[in-house]
Amino acid sequence: MRTETVFTNARLVLEDRVISGSIVLRDGVIADISEGNAAGGIDMEGDYVIPGLVELHTDHLEAHYTPRPGVRWNAISAIQSHDAQIASSGITTVFDCLRLGSDAGDGFEVGEMRAIADALAEARAENRLRADHLIHLRCEVSAADVLDHFADFLTDSRVRLASLMDHAPGQRQFQTLEQYAVYHKVKRGLTDEAFNIFVARRQAASAQYSDRHRKVLSNACAERGITVASHDDATLDHVTEAVGFGVKLAEFPTSLEAAKASHKAGMSVLMGAPNVVRGGSHSGNIAATDLARAGVLDVLSSDYIPFSLIQAPFVLADEIEDLDLATAIRLVTSTPARTVGLDDRGSLTPGKRADLVRVRRDSGIPVVRSVWRRGERVA
């Protein structure tokens, strides 16, 4: 039995323009788009209708699973709480980041992230989830045990993205020890001596493991068709290395030089939507808005604030004269979808999945009024 829904009197955000019109959903896909109102359609009252947002990098699930130091929340409960916030922010496809690799006293035990992935599969099978959840493996290549963690996911078809990260001090995100101290010395309550020992251990681990682990992990991803992301590239050498590893997504480049080189090499440059909303990086690196003005920003990620993903495109369209709303919305819909090979979603195009968000925004912060995934209302 065919099911059909018609929305009318909507501002439809297409890939290249915004039109006033109607959209027809049939059996979970977009069947037709037209200008003007359709008789008998559901009145959108002039609200925007945009594609469901595609989120490639969020560690927000981790915050629900470990809400306090030493606390592990029930995995299914944590997933449902995370999923509800994701969906209500207009995100219909989310790549949940699972952290692989740990240092003494930091990170998760081998098997713990596998258990989270199994809980995601269970929640999906029991129809508990509103958004479509896929897996992004955040691989800390400087960790001695990262390959042991990765082995838990060798046969998991939900893994569609893996990032190669090295958070050792003195390079990439933490190019100065002052930045690193804010994250780790203060956070951990370390003395000067203990902090120096901690830094030396992290730097030694990076020197010992990072190069080998990048090669092993990038080769394993290439064999399985998993999209590879670089992380915190700061220099042209970092970008050249990423090209060699077949990287398609450049996450959070820390300099304009690296962002321009990554974009020129055909990678999608990803920055944090919170960076846009706040007006700059919380760690003192390049501002996402500067990359947008330079024409080298391709993808936004909510990172640690889910709602920032719907808010940031409106901020960019307001602040950058040559960047219209349709272009800004592509940063959170069609471009991230294409980057990871999800060609069935990400735009208001007949034949694509009927993943839609109804947004009211007269001024200031937008309001997400309704969300549909595959034509079924989920928020």
Strands 4-13 and 48-51: parallel
Q: Given this model, what pLDDT does residue 307 score? A: 98
DSSP 174: B
The closest of 186, 100, 92 to 139, measured between CA atoms, is 100
pLDDT tens digits for range 111-127: 899 999 999 999 999 99
In a domain, 369, yes or no: no
* Predicted local confidence at residue 124, as pLDDT: 97
Compute the residue count for the chain: 379
Please indicate, yes or no, if residue 298 is contained in any of the structural domains: yes
- Looking at mean pLDDT, say which of 103-107, 211-215, 356-360 comes out highest: 356-360
User: Structurally, how many domains does the chain consist of?
Assistant: 1
Round to whole Å and give the CA distance between 213 and 202: 15
Tens digit of each residue's pLDDT (9 = 90 or more) over 20-60: 999 999 999 999 999 999 999 999 999 999 999 999 999 89
| Residue 283 clears pLDDT 80, i.e. is over it | no
Share of the chain above pLDDT 90, in %: 78
Tokens of 334: 């069609």
DSSP string, 45-105: TT-EEEEPEEEEEE-HHHHHHSSSTT----HHHHHHHHHHHHHHTTEEEEEEEEEE--BTT
Instruction: Assess if residue 29 is contained within a domain.
Output: no
Task: Report the pLDDT value the prediction gives residue 181, as an integer from 0 to 100.
Answer: 56
CA-CA-CA-CA dihedral for 306, 375, 119, 158, to nearest 10? -90
Over the stretch 58-92, which tens digit does the pLDDT of each residue have? 989 999 999 988 899 999 999 999 999 999 999 99
| 327 pLDDT higher than 70 | yes
CA angle 251, 253, 256 (to 5 degrees): 145
HEC secondary structure over the chain: CCCEEEEEEEEEECCCCEEEEEEEEECCEEEEEEECCCCCCEECCCCEEEECEEEEEECHHHHHHCCCCCCCCCHHHHHHHHHHHHHHCCEEEEEEEEEECCECCECCCCCHHHHHHHHHHHHHHCCCCCCEEEEEEEEECCCCCHHHHHHCCCCCCCEEEEEEECCCCCECCECCHHHHHHHHHHHHCCCHHHHHHHHHHHHHHHHHHHHHHHHHHHHHHHHHCCEEEEECCCCHHHHHHHHHCCCCEEECCCCHHHHHHHHHCCCEEEEEHHHHHHCCCCCCCCCHHHHHHCCCCCEEECECCCCHHHHHHHHHHHHCCCCCHHHHHHCCCHHHHHHCCCCCCCCCCCCCECCEEEEECCCCCCEEEEEEECCEECC
Tell me the mean pLDDT in the region 345-366: 97
Residue 266 has pLDDT above 90, yes or no: yes
Q: Which two tokens stand for residue 294?
A: 């330079």
Is 361:49 a contact under the CB 8 Å cutoff? no
pLDDT computed for residue 190 by the predictor: 62
Higher pLDDT, 163 or 103: 163
Q: What is the DSSP letter of 238?
A: H
| 348 within some domain | no
How does the average pLDDT of the chain come out, rounded?
A: 91
Q: Give the per-residue pLDDT at 73.
A: 95
334 within a domain of the structure (yes/no) = yes
Query: CATH number for the domain including 215?
Result: 3.20.20.140
Is the predicted pLDDT of residue 212 greater than 70, yes or no?
yes
Asked, for residue 11, whether it belongs to a domain, the answer is no
pLDDT the model gives residue 69: 81
The whole domain housing 132 covers 52-343
Q: How far apart are CA 121 and CA 107, in angstroms?
A: 22
What was the pLDDT predicted at 184?
Answer: 59
Mean pLDDT within 99-103: 82
- pLDDT average, residue stretch 208-213: 88
pLDDT tops 80 at residue 294: yes
Q: Is the pTM of this model over 0.85?
A: yes
**Does 224 have pLDDT greater than 60?**
yes
pLDDT score of 200:
73
**Residue 135 maps to a domain:** yes
The letter for the amino acid at 143 is A
Q: Using pLDDT thresholds of 50, 70 and 90, give the confidence band for residue 103.
A: low
Lowest mean pLDDT among 160-164, 183-187, 224-228, 282-286: 183-187
Tokens of 320: 């950058």
What is the pLDDT confidence band of residue 356, given thresholds at 50, 70 and 90? very high
Residue 206: the pLDDT is 77
pLDDT(14) > 70:
yes
Q: How buried is 351 (Cβ within 10 angstroms: 0-12 exposed, 13-18 middle, 19+ buried)?
A: exposed
88 assigned to some structural domain: yes
Taking CA atoms, 164 is separated from 193, 323, 375, in Å, by 30, 31, 35
